[in-house]
Amino acid sequence: MDSTQTFQVFNRGPSPGARLVFFAVLSLLLMFVDARFRYLEAARSALSVLVSPIQHLATLPGTLWHKSGDFLVAQSRLLEANEVLHRQHERDSAQLVQSQSLLQENKQLRNLMAMQQRNQFSVQFAEIVYAEIDVFKRKVLINKGGSTHIQAGQVVMDDKGIVGQVTRIYPWLSEVTLITEKNHAVPVQVLRSGLRSIAFGAGNTSQLSLRYMPVSADIQKGDVLVTSGIDGLYPPGIPVAVVEKIERDPAYPFASIVCSPLGGVDKHRHLLVLSALPALPERTQATPVVTPSGKAGGN
């Protein structure tokens, strides 16, 4: 049997056109029966259960691709939002610090205004424009000078207490030596007991010392020191410092007393320059006394 005869044996049966018509009619019949009587519902459900894993496997790469893309997009958006929030936080923090600084400055200015109204002498408002960077010098420059009738020796203070004294005059500026300048002396008085002493600068902005105070002196930690006014430069009753530390050693005649200044240029920027105090009367000279012998003598 040759190949042509073999092909004719296996090619027996309906023609392809007849087969197409048959299966088309069968499909339509099955569709009609299913739509009319729902006979194939169980078969379709079972088939869907069997096909469902294959469908999931077929769609898994696409699903993973879309989810990874969404994740990357969401991550990028979160990073951008986080950066925006971080910059906003920095701006808000800077504005908050600035607002707090302005509130503190306004509070100090109100205190200075109140002090100006309470004082019996005239004052001028001043602002610090420069501070010495030398750690051994405790001086600042303020924006008032000879053009505003500032004079050497005038007292400078803030809303807490004495800050220093004008020591040099320029046309539009003045140099102020702080009370914390080394060996700068301010006559003071203990507010509680009335005990008088002299506060000396220690060379830093946070310390004063009371020298030559006897071990038995009536002074305690926490006592407030005010100006005594006996020098004719500092008006009496202005706060100067508070006693922080007292060391009494019976082996030494004097106590070691450390104080903290109440005012200070490291705390505020605005100051008050007090008007010059009236000049003290000149010291009277001793009048020579003539003795009966005709010789002059002194009292």
Residue 190: per-residue pLDDT: 92
Query: What mean pLDDT comes out for the span 264-289?
Result: 68
Instruction: Record the tokens describing residue 70, joined without a space.
Output: 């969404």
Residues counted in the chain: 299
Residue 113: per-residue pLDDT: 63
CA angle, 268 as apex, 266 and 269 as ends, to 5°? 105
32 Rama class: left (phi>0) / alpha (psi -120 to 50) / beta: alpha
Report the predicted TM-score, pTM, of the whole model to 2 decimal places. 0.57
Q: Pick from 70, 98, 118: which residue ends a domain?
A: 118
Question: Who has greater pLDDT, 67 or 246?
Answer: 246
> Is residue 12 over pLDDT 50?
yes
Question: Who has greater pLDDT, 124 or 2?
Answer: 124
Q: Quick one: 110 and 128 in the same domain?
A: no
Q: Quick one: 162 and 186 in the same domain?
A: yes
Q: Quick one: 131 and 265 in the same domain?
A: yes
Q: Pick from 118, 134, 161: which residue ends a domain?
A: 118
The answer to whether residue 24 is domain-embedded is: no
Reported as a pLDDT band with limits 50, 70 and 90, residue 272 is: confident
> Is residue 214 over pLDDT 70?
yes
> Is residue 215 over pLDDT 80?
yes
Residue 223: per-residue pLDDT: 94
* Radius of gyration, CA atoms only, the chain: 49
Residue 240 belongs to domain with CATH number: 2.40.10.340
Residue-wise pLDDT tens digits, 36-66: 666 667 676 777 777 777 777 777 777 778 7
Q: Pick from 91, 118, 145: which residue ends a domain?
A: 118
Q: Give yes or no for a contact between 179 and 298, defined as CB atoms under 8 angstroms apart.
A: no
Q: Quick one: 137 and 73 in the same domain?
A: no
Please give the mean pLDDT across all residues of the chain: 78
Q: Quick one: 225 and 158 in the same domain?
A: yes
Q: Quick one: 270 and 197 in the same domain?
A: yes
Q: Which residues pair with 226 in a beta bridge?
A: 189, 239
> Is residue 69 over pLDDT 70?
yes
**What total number of domains does the chain contain?**
2
Which residue range(s) make up the domain with 139? Answer: 123-274
Q: Quick one: 50 and 132 in the same domain?
A: no
> Is residue 297 over pLDDT 60?
no
Q: Quick one: 160 and 239 in the same domain?
A: yes
Q: Quick one: 47 and 90 in the same domain?
A: yes
Alpha-carbon distances of 118 from 112, 122, 273, rounded to whole Å: 10, 10, 14
Q: Quick one: 92 and 229 in the same domain?
A: no
The answer to whether residue 28 is domain-embedded is: no
